Amino acid sequence: MAVTKPATHPQFPEPRIGVLLLNLGTPDGTDYWPMRRYLSEFLSDPRVIETNPLIWQPILQGAILTFRPQKSGANYARIWDKTENDSPLRVITKRQAAKLQQRLGDGVIVDYGMRYGNPSTASRLEALQQAGCQKILLAPLYPQYSATTTATANDKAFEALGRMRWQPAVRTLPAYFDTPEYVAALAKSVDDGVKALPFKPDVVLTSYHGMPQVYLERGDPYYCQCLKTTRLVRETLGWSEDKLRVTFQSRFGPTEWLQPYTVDVLEELARAKKKVAVLAPAFSVDCIETLEEIAITGHEQFVTAGGGHDDYAYIPCLNDSELGMGMLEAIIRNELKGWI
């Protein structure tokens, strides 16, 4: 006996597959209050700052967020995309999503969200679910895994899923630091970047975002994965350890962080009158840590320490280049097997 669907039966969209690219996030502007909101959310994340919040929050909401927003805002202003009136990280991540959509076709809906700031992870998950996505791949765009990046991006997504009555099925993109696609793309970007320079660098630094040493001691695999990425790229290029070196940037606070510190190595190389190129393999998209900290401030530190003004260069992230998008499409398609 056939069952007639009642007139009041809700209408659901056709089932779809979704891909949500997840990145760190960015302030909505360089002024004090947008910067304060962003920094407060970022530095309140217990995955990022593991200090007891009863101790940490008074310090954060007091001295740090009184003065740091102005300094950080000034740094963001140095790299702000004037054409789009937006942060480069959001501009490039948006382009990555659009280009990946073209590559994957109409059978998949591709979107992007941020762990901190806008567009929020929750809002984009809800949009995908409302568009009929009953299966969603969460894709944190961090080649190397860390609790401070990949884990907290997934945490935020799971938090949003926990509020949904009808949850989609989800998968998460694993760290891809040693996949053939990523290593080949990164190695080619280094080779192409060096060949395009007006000088031949004596040393190329792979500068990774740092973390407190104690996080490694508690079991975070990030440090080891960074070393492996550089080793695999070095082997692909046939370079020596002296030619392609590992350093760590972005120290925050008084505790010991992963070493060697990028700034210390830059000063050492400047005093030795070496020619230097730097890239940042922990980032899938150029952002404040690459465009301001490495490309601008790193150059200033190098010259101040005695290096030649024209003996320093920054090699950009893979971003939405053909090389980068080919790699991203390959690793995303691999995780969508069985769904598409």
For residues 120 and 266, state if they share a domain.
no
Average pLDDT over residues 109-124: 98
Instruction: Classify residue 98: in a domain, yes or no.
Output: yes
pLDDT tens track for 47-103: 999 999 999 999 999 999 999 999 999 999 999 999 999 999 999 999 999 999 999
Instruction: Classify residue 4: in a domain, yes or no.
Output: no
Look at residue 252 in the predicted model and tell me its pLDDT: 85
How would you label 253-276 residue by residue, b for 16+ Cβ within 10 Å and e otherwise?
eeeebbeebbbebbbebbeeebbb
Beta strands 312-314 and 244-249 are unpaired
For residues 53 and 136, state if they share a domain.
yes
Instruction: Classify residue 7: in a domain, yes or no.
Output: no
Instruction: Classify residue 84: in a domain, yes or no.
Output: yes
For residues 33 and 138, state if they share a domain.
yes
Residue with tokens 């990145």: 23
pLDDT tens track for 256-302: 999 999 999 999 999 999 999 999 999 999 999 999 999 999 999 99
For residues 168 and 206, state if they share a domain.
no
For residues 46 and 123, state if they share a domain.
yes
> CA dist 83 to 27, 75, 115, 123, 261, Å?
17, 18, 24, 26, 34
For residues 137 and 199, state if they share a domain.
no
The pLDDT confidence band at residue 9, using thresholds 50, 70 and 90, is low
pLDDT tens track for 35-54: 999 999 999 999 999 999 99
For residues 120 and 170, state if they share a domain.
yes
Q: What average pLDDT does the structure give for the chain?
A: 96
For residues 51 and 112, state if they share a domain.
yes
Instruction: Classify residue 9: in a domain, yes or no.
Output: no
How would you label 95-128 residue by residue, b for 16+ Cβ within 10 Å and e otherwise?
ebbebbeeebeeebbbbbbbbbbebbbbebbebb
> CA dist 135 to 94, 213, 316, Å?
21, 37, 33
For residues 294 and 185, state if they share a domain.
yes
- The distance from CA 58 to its chain's CA centroid, rounded to whole angstroms, is 28
Look at residue 11 in the predicted model and tell me its pLDDT: 75
Average pLDDT over residues 164-191: 97
For residues 303 and 243, state if they share a domain.
yes
For residues 203 and 266, state if they share a domain.
yes
Domain total in the chain: 2
For residues 166 and 190, state if they share a domain.
no
Instruction: Classify residue 11: in a domain, yes or no.
Output: no
- Could you tell me the residue range of the domain that residue 23 belongs to? 16-176+323-335
Look at residue 6 in the predicted model and tell me its pLDDT: 73
Instruction: Classify residue 8: in a domain, yes or no.
Output: no
Helical H runs in the chain?
32-43, 53-59, 65-79, 88-104, 121-130, 152-161, 180-195, 213-217, 222-237, 262-271, 299-304, 322-335
Instruction: Classify residue 2: in a domain, yes or no.
Output: no
**CATH number of the domain encompassing residue 91:** 3.40.50.1400
Look at residue 157 in the predicted model and tell me its pLDDT: 98
